[in-house]
Chain A
Amino acid sequence: MDQAGPSRRAVLVGAGLLAVAACSTGTEPEPPKPDPDLPIRSLAAAGVRGLVALYDAVSRAHPDLRAELAPLAAETAAHLSALEPPATGPTPSASPSPSATPSPSITVPATAAAVLTALVRAERHEASLRVTQLASASAALARLLAAIGASEATHATLLRAGS
């Protein structure tokens, strides 16, 4: 009779295993959900990176404009820093700075007036893109994108006043 069914001990051990299994599935860390802001952030960062490259190229081609454009270029660099995810790992210097990458595709106009016009157009274009990019962003990213867009719109106005 004792052999007919599982021993009490076996049942208890089995129940314990089940409990352990249930427990382990319950506490197993789920794979991290993809951040829905990430593609929006990347898109905005790519646009700002283009502006940074444009300011860099203009400063190289027109040293006489460098002082005038420096504050705007610095703010654009700050926009990029705010948008780029923080560097992971102990050696952030291992990844190359995006602004250090040469951008041979940028053609800088020959005259200062044409340069300012090109910058106005680029800043205004990016400012309008921010408005659509923030539509589906989280509240936190929407605030940041709205502020960056407002700064870019300001740049366009100041550049136009200086041209």
Chain B
Amino acid sequence: MVLNCTERNANKRLIITWLTLLMLTLVSVFFVEAATAYSISNNVISGVLVCFIVALKGRLVIDNLIGLRLANKNIRGVMLSYFYVLPLLIALGIIFPDIIVNMTSLGS
């Protein structure tokens, strides 16, 4: 099968995206495992890094695997905002759990 230059580039992009996603998964596990192994009681830094990786993975899937990078920008905007807002919420939950408890408690 003869592949032209555009196809080769598209294939290359897909493979690089896939391998990057696998690597990011391992890196996120490593961050938390390392934090636990070295008895770092405060998991905030590793937690925030993991949230950043989640946002990055989401963007890679949305842009390169679904292919929204070159498609409808409204759908891409909604999907990307999902992957910016939710990891941010998770990170805020890790950094400021007390505020979340206060906001979601009834009475005193």
Are A and B associated in one complex? no
Chain A residues at the B interface, C-beta cutoff of 8 Å: none
